[in-house]
Structure 1
Amino acid sequence: MKIAIFTDTYYPDINGVAKTLKRLTNYFEEKSIAYKIFAPSSYSNEYHSPNIHLLKSRSFFLYPECRLAFPNLFDIKSELQTFSPDIIHVATPFNVGLCGVYFAKKLNIPLVGSYHTNFNHYLHYYDLNFLSKIHWKYMHWFHRSCRKLFVPSTETFRLLKQNGFSNIEVWPRGVDCQLYHPHYDKNSVQKLHSTPEKYLLTYVGRLAPEKDIKTLLAVAKSIPAELKEKLHWLIVGDGPLRKELQAQSESNMTFTGYLVGKHLAKVYSASDLLVFPSPTETFGNVVLESLASGTPVIGANSGGVKDIINSGVTGILCKPGQVREFRDAIVQLLTNDELRDQMGIAGREYALKQGWDQIFEDLNWQYKRVIEEQNGQKYA
């Protein structure tokens, strides 16, 4: 089986889609499954592979972290015909994804898609609610040729079902529990980031409106003074709101920029809590990474996050945007070491059951079913 994936983001980009697809292609390599990635050239050209066809691109002016590709259709067609894939997977609904849809039809190749981002929910944070109907019409049009549409959580499944989508399958996310674990040295993280306070609270993610970072800032300011002086915040990530947030931030906040690999894993492990107010997640990779690290999560009771956190067991779910609920949850857990430790243990136990291999094997089986249905072929 040969698989072509069309995506507007891929490694070394730092986001949930890019990380998931990189993990998927690692699995393909381990299983000797042939694949070809079609993706925009990145701001970093350090990563090269014969399995990746890079497309010319520029930073999108409204969101510099995103790349806008300028595909050469002749080159893509030639590459596809040489590779001769059994199936095309479109992972994003923009320029590169459109190429995948086009060539799947033109070359009669089975097509599947995946829905990673709740763009409709994003509209609220950019004062673009009037575009909601247009958004859903476009999503229906874009995915109408997909024999399967993979979504990362049951909450996203329900959302798309309510909006008239069919052929939906849940394709959840796993976590690397060998990288993310509770046993790193907390003192080394405190020294590196100059955080000598008793408690370490962390946020991990883009610094953008759709993550509801303003609620995070309001929560930090609302912590009672006697507790505030005992804690430090690490804000891990970057994005269009960083300068504004830093200008308004508390003195006990450190902005680290993006962290990856062991450095990020050590921060999770050293943290007492992950505070994640984003209500727009279709999954919430950082939430699962934190639980794998033995760190409870206080998150928004919305989207894919509510599928991961067992409120009262592995963390606490709060009503989106409710500063008081988030503040009270933080105070409750920081003043109850035993409960916080119990939640950390429960979170680690949950994460240990969320392995990638079975998830990818199930996806592989779905690929084979789609190919068989269209072509009448049988794959062992």
Structure 2
Amino acid sequence: MRIAIFSDTYAPEVNGVARTLKRYTNYLDTKGIAYRLFVPEGRTPVPKVPHIERFMSIPFLLYPDCRLAIPNPIHIRQTLDEFKPTLIHVATPFNLGLFGLHYGKKHQIPMVASYHTHFDDYLAYYHATFLTKWIWKYLQWFHQPFDRVYVPSESTREKLLSRNFHPSIDIWGRGVNHHFYSPAKQSRSVREIYNIKEKNILLYVGRVAPEKDVHIVLETFHALPEHVKQETHLLIVGNGPLFQTLSAKEHPQITWTGFLEGEALSKVYASADLFLFPSPTETFGNVVLEAQSSGLPVIGAKAGGVQHLVTHGVNGFLCEAKHTESFANYTSLLLEQESLRRTFAEKSRAFALTLSWNEIFDKLINSFLQIANRKQEISA
């Protein structure tokens, strides 16, 4: 199998899709499966490697943190002609994805797509709901020629099926590194670094962006009963378009760390007491699974992919999106009841241990092989 992959994000960019694709290509490297990856250049320069082609890019008008590649069609065509892919995998509906789609159709190569982002949900946060109808029309048109479309969660699958998006939609789930994100990473140094003196650490990890409903995190903290709030420190990890504005409003019990990665991030997860994640726009929710693997109960929005990770009343609680009162009530409950919190923490870790990256990628590649074989049989 020789896979040509087209995406508008990849490491070292910091988002769920980029990290998933990095895991994916690491798996292909481990298994000795040949691939060529076509992605935009990011804001951070990276060394060139033979199997990754990067192209000049510009910020996406509606979402500047997403970059659109300016492809070199002749170069891409030459690369693909030499590589001779047996499967095209498109992970973006934009410029590079269009080129992958065109090449696959022209050469009658089996093609799959992966759907990662609810663009229609994002439009409401960027005052562009007038584009919703056209976004859906375009996405439906774009995905029709693919042999199969992969989505991260059952709720995403149901949403697309309800719109007659594509006749063949499968779930490509996500895993987590259980050793890296582990309760064993708990460290006193986190309290020392961020000067945390309060008994409890309430944690949010993710982009500091409108579609993540970060304001609900802040509102929840301020809505806690006074005696709980006095014993709680809110730690917000991440960067994004709202970071400068929100972090400027200083509060002695709220710390904005900015972007963290590696051991610093795993220690923060493991050293917190509770994970708060109100985003209603997730197709999966990678940070939720990282928190669970680190042994944290999760209070999340009953929406999108998060609702498939959190079992209400077992390893956390689910709240109606934007309902601050519910978030505050459940946060207060778990911060006050330590024994319940520990039980939920154990259940979180146990759930995360059931999701293995290798098994998920094995299943994905087997699905690719079935598609390629079926197309060969039809051609014969």
Q: Same fold (TM over 0.5)?
A: yes
Moved over 6 A (4+): none
SS in 2 for 1:11: coil
2:354 corresponding residue in structure 1: 353
Question: What is the CA–CA distance in structure 2 between the aligned matches of 1:97 and 1:225, rounded to whole Å?
Answer: 51
> Over residues 149-180 of structure 1, what are the superposed CA-to-partner deviations in whole Å (9 max), with x where a residue is unaligned?
00000111100010112210011101110100
SS in 1 for 2:146: coil
1:144 corresponding residue in structure 2: 144
> Which range is displaced more, 115-124 or 46-55?
46-55
The Cα shift of 1:138 comes to 0.7
For the pair 1:7 / 2:19, whether they are aligned, the reply is no
> Which range is displaced more, 286-295 or 238-247?
238-247
For the pair 1:220 / 2:221, whether they are aligned, the reply is yes
- Give, as a single letter, the amino acid of the residue that structure 1 aligns with 2:247: Q
1:334 corresponding residue in structure 2: 335
The Cα shift of 1:129 comes to 2.1
**Residue 93 of structure 1 contacts residue 139 of structure 1 at CA under 8 Å; is this kept in 2?**
yes
SS in 2 for 1:200: strand
- Give, as a single letter, the amino acid of the residue that structure 2 aligns with 1:295: L
The Cα shift of 1:236 comes to 0.8
SS in 1 for 2:184: coil
1:274 corresponding residue in structure 2: 275
**Residue 62 of structure 2 contacts residue 126 of structure 2 at CA under 8 Å; is this kept in 1?**
no
Question: What is the CA–CA distance in structure 1 between the aligned matches of 2:136 and 2:250, rounded to whole Å?
Answer: 36
Alignment of 1:1-380 (within 5 A): 1-60=1-60, 63-165=63-165, 166-248=167-249, 250-376=251-377
Question: What is the CA–CA distance in structure 2 between the aligned matches of 1:375 and 1:75, rounded to whole Å?
Answer: 28
**Residue 217 of structure 1 contacts residue 249 of structure 1 at CA under 8 Å; is this kept in 2?**
no
Question: What is the CA–CA distance in structure 2 between the aligned matches of 1:288 and 1:255, rounded to whole Å?
Answer: 21
**Residue 186 of structure 2 contacts residue 268 of structure 2 at CA under 8 Å; is this kept in 1?**
no
SS in 2 for 1:189: helix
- Give, as a single letter, the amino acid of the residue that structure 1 aligns with 2:97: G
SS in 1 for 2:304: coil
Unpaired runs of 5+ residues, structure 1, are: none
Question: What is the CA–CA distance in structure 1 between the aligned matches of 2:186 and 2:173, rounded to whole Å?
Answer: 30
The Cα shift of 1:94 comes to 1.4
The Cα shift of 1:109 comes to 1.6
* Distance 1:69-1:191 versus aligned 2 partners, 3 A rule: same
SS in 1 for 2:17: helix
TM-score normalized by the length of structure 2: 0.96
The Cα shift of 1:252 comes to 1.3
> Over residues 11-64 of structure 1, what are the superposed CA-to-partner deviations in whole Å (9 max), with x where a residue is unaligned?
101101100010011111111000110000111123432110111113346544
Question: What is the CA–CA distance in structure 1 between the aligned matches of 2:64 and 2:197, rounded to whole Å?
Answer: 34
Superposed CA RMSD: 1.5
The Cα shift of 1:65 comes to 2.5
Unpaired runs of 5+ residues, structure 2, are: none
> Which range is displaced more, 343-352 or 186-195?
186-195
- Give, as a single letter, the amino acid of the residue that structure 1 aligns with 2:158: R
- Give, as a single letter, the amino acid of the residue that structure 2 aligns with 1:304: G
> Over residues 281-317 of structure 1, what are the superposed CA-to-partner deviations in whole Å (9 max), with x where a residue is unaligned?
0000000110000011110000000000011111110
Question: What is the CA–CA distance in structure 2 between the aligned matches of 1:224 and 1:247, rounded to whole Å?
Answer: 24
- Give, as a single letter, the amino acid of the residue that structure 2 aligns with 1:49: V
- Determine what percentage of the aligned residue pairs are the same residue: 45
Length, aligned pairs only? 378
Question: What is the CA–CA distance in structure 2 between the aligned matches of 1:208 and 1:170, rounded to whole Å?
Answer: 27
- Give, as a single letter, the amino acid of the residue that structure 2 aligns with 1:168: I
The Cα shift of 1:258 comes to 1.4
